[in-house]
Chains A and B, each alone.
Chain A
Amino acid sequence: MFCVHCGLPEAEGDHPGCRGPRAALEPPRFCPDCARRMVVQVTPVGWSARCSRHGETTSAGTPALTE
């Protein structure tokens, strides 16, 4: 599993910048399965994030991404 904020392995290191209050304001940027950078759309009430390999995840109520 990879960190969705920095893309490094979750089990390696402390990820200090990924667990602070600033990170709580960030949607996921990296795929947790493969660490690819995802295409992310933030909307007023949510977000959607798409990995080219593993597909899309969304917070509730967010329309899917398009090209």
Chain B
Amino acid sequence: MTAAAERATTTDVLAVAREQVLDRGVGLTEAQVLDVLRLDDDRLDDLLALAHEVRVRWCGPEVEVEGIVSLKTGGCPEDCHFCSQSGRFPSPVRSAWLDIPGLVEAARQTAATGATEFCIVAAVRGPDARLLSQVRDGIKAIRDSGNDIQIACSLGMLTQEQVDELVAMGVHRYNHNLETARSHFPQVVTTHSWEERWDTLRMVREAGMEVCSGGILGMGETTEQRAEFAVQLAELDPHEVPMNFLIPQPGTPYEQYEPVPGREALKLVAAFRLAMPRTMLRFAGGRELTLGDLGAEKGMLGGVNAIIVGNYLTNLGRPAQQDLDMLADLKMPIKALSDTL
């Protein structure tokens, strides 16, 4: 019996996904995601093609482009083992603050790429009064400069009062990554819990901001935990899921970890799409190392519908124009700001 014939006589997860996810818009269960992640490599192209169909059917053809900047770099009291900005590890990253003119310029640079989103990020457990004041002044200065780009923030764990303040500042989306599966989180972070992160996300949603939450793959989690994570994100039902692949950072406990192999990363992209057919799935950090140029294109044709262009917080990305050219080559329209207002 040929492999194709054998598949036809058994329950093939891609056939199930076609009916369940593509036709009905119902995301895969944890067991089904695991089946997808265990598919042989010779099914990868079929998987990516299906994930792309799902993305186009339930999210449309457009791609959301975003730029990010670090407002406060380094010196973080938390011990996220992947992060070069933790003050607990001998990382070469030193503390830095971006001033208001620098923030306005970063927002201008981002808008110039055609991006509709600009995310202001700080390496903190949660924002203090000084940081919130800097964010408030920064947003006002960005608006005063005539830049109407949508502004998101990522400032760690929030209190209800801080959530309300951000809403009042006009922040429309808040990023706070769950980072990894709940069962794996204690191996990655010990200074706060997965549940504390969940609580912030709950408050953000209830306050009317869009929820952005994803994580980093390649932090020693098992395949089962990757499936668990995909479904936990689906349960959260965020507006956006940024997918990062670990860039092993000098001085951190994960310095010697190997990057996720490209085919594995593509399988993860497609599996996450099949778990969350309607969610914005964004390529974030690490894709340059894990996937390279060709793999990034495959990912865009395998379920991804959003992208961070340019540099990241402490790492460099490929030039924004290269990603914009890629989207043009793929004939993928960039979401316009007028569509988001």
Residues of A contacting B: mostly:
loop
Q: Number of B residues whose C-beta is below 8 Å from A?
A: 37
B residues bordering A, Cβ < 8 Å?
Answer: 67-70, 73, 92-99, 101-102, 105-106, 109-110, 113, 247-248, 250, 259, 288-289, 309-317, 319-320
- Given A41-B70, A44-B109, also A66-B99 (CB < 8 A): yes
A39 at the B interface (CB under 8 A):
yes
The answer on a CB contact under 8 Å between A44 and B110 is: yes
Known: A43-B69, A44-B67, A66-B102. 20 other contacts (CB 8 A): A5-B92, A22-B247, A25-B289, A25-B315, A25-B317, A26-B250, A26-B315, A37-B94, A38-B94, A40-B73, A40-B94, A41-B73, A41-B96, A43-B109, A44-B110, A45-B310, A47-B311, A63-B106, A66-B97, A66-B98
A residues bordering B, Cβ < 8 Å?
Answer: 5-7, 17, 21-22, 24-27, 29-30, 37-47, 61, 63-67
- Given A26-B315, A40-B93, A41-B73, also A17-B250 (CB < 8 A): yes
- A40 CB, nearest partner CB in chain B, Å: 7
Contacts of B311 in A (CB 8 A): 42-47
Contacts of A7 in B (CB 8 A): 92
Residue of B nearest to A36 (CB): B94
A29 contact from B93, B99, B247, Cβ within 8 A = B93
Residue of A nearest to B104 (CB): A63
Contacts of B93 in A (CB 8 A): 29, 40
Contacts of B250 in A (CB 8 A): 5-6, 17, 26
Pairs A–B under 8 Å by Cβ, sample size 18:
A6-B250, A7-B92, A25-B288, A27-B316, A38-B94, A40-B73, A41-B96, A42-B311, A42-B312, A44-B67, A44-B106, A44-B109, A44-B320, A46-B311, A61-B109, A63-B101, A63-B105, A64-B102
